[in-house]
Structure 1
Amino acid sequence: MATVAEILRSKSGSEVYRVAPTDSVLHALRLMADKEVGALMVLDGEKIAGIFTERDYARKVALVGRSSGDTPVSEIMTRAVRFVHPEQTTEACMALMTEHRLRHLPVVDGERLVGLVSIGDLVKQMISQQQFVIAQMEQYITGGW
């Protein structure tokens, strides 16, 4: 079983993109588009204040007719942030994401934000593990040991 730490090491871009609670939603959307990500951490200094996702925008701005330029991220971000630790397994992350219908999980080591894993990161890791097991089984069956 792979751990969150292994996933973070294997990611090509492991930087966690962030905004401040006072930043406008428009600023956050531009950053998300520029970095091609679906979520941003909202940090007040170094403290996690929330997470801002495409879902937050769609449900709390676009659907209710708010202005992206006039709305601060703090008004629509998700405040109850679920997170994982580097030593947790991909299976534990998938269970948490499935149970709470999440697409992104911040990774916290102690009090420090060290990464962000997406459902795509987890699926990619699980596929890689399955391909390895299949290759090992094929070698065993064909006598390639």
Structure 2
Amino acid sequence: MKTVSQILHAKGGTEVHTISPGETVLEAIRRMAEHGIGALVVTEGGAIVGMVSERDYARKVILMGRNSDQTAVREIMSPTVLYVRPQQSNEDCMALMANSRVRHLPVMESGRLIGLISMGDLVKDIISDQQFTIEQLEHYISGQHA
């Protein structure tokens, strides 16, 4: 299994999109749409104070009849943030996500936010590993092994 660090590298970067808790939910949704992502890390004064996702929006704004342009991110964000470290494995992340029912995990190193891993990143990594194994087995079976 690959490490979080390897997955971030394969993903092509460690850019993490953030938002402050006082900004509107409408701005959060705009940023997610602009960057093609499903969640933002909520930060204040350089510290992580929560996560806000499309799921939070659907459940806490749309279903509750709130206005996106009048609701602050702090009102709908999830204040408990689980995170992983770069040396942790794909399996560690999958277990944490499944047990906690979250889809995004910030990656922290020495108290610093260095990346974000999503369920999609992990699934993509697993599929890539499986495809490689299948190709190796096909070459072995067909007698094309080295």
TM-score, reference length from structure 1? 0.95
Q: Distance in 1 between matches of 2:137 and 2:83?
A: 35
Query: Match of 2:94, as an amino acid?
Result: M
**Equivalence map 1:39-58=2 (5 Å):** 39-58=39-58
Deviation at 1:13, TM superposition (A): 5.1
**Equivalence map 1:1-145=2 (5 Å):** 1-12=1-12, 14-144=14-144, 145=146
Q: Distance in 1 between matches of 2:13 and 2:34?
A: 14
Q: Distance in 2 between matches of 1:124 and 1:76?
A: 29
Q: Distance in 1 between matches of 2:103 and 2:19?
A: 18
Secondary structure of 2:40 counterpart: strand
**Identity among equivalent pairs (%):** 53
Q: Distance in 1 between matches of 2:52 and 2:121?
A: 18
Query: Match of 1:61, as an amino acid?
Result: V
Gaps spanning 5+ residues in structure 2: where?
Answer: none
Q: Distance in 2 between matches of 1:138 and 1:79?
A: 48
Gaps spanning 5+ residues in structure 1: where?
Answer: none
How many residues matched? 145
Q: Distance in 1 between matches of 2:130 and 2:68?
A: 42
Residues 24-75 of structure 1 deviation map (CA, whole Å, 9 limit, x = unaligned)? 1111111111111100000102100100001111111111111111111111
Q: Distance in 1 between matches of 2:127 and 2:114?
A: 24
Query: Match of 1:111, as an amino acid?
Result: G
Deviation at 1:142, TM superposition (A): 2.7
TM-score, reference length from structure 2? 0.94
Identify the range of structure 1 (128-137 vs 21-30) with the bigger mean alpha-carbon deviation. Answer: 128-137
Q: Which runs of 4+ in 1 moved over 6 A?
A: none
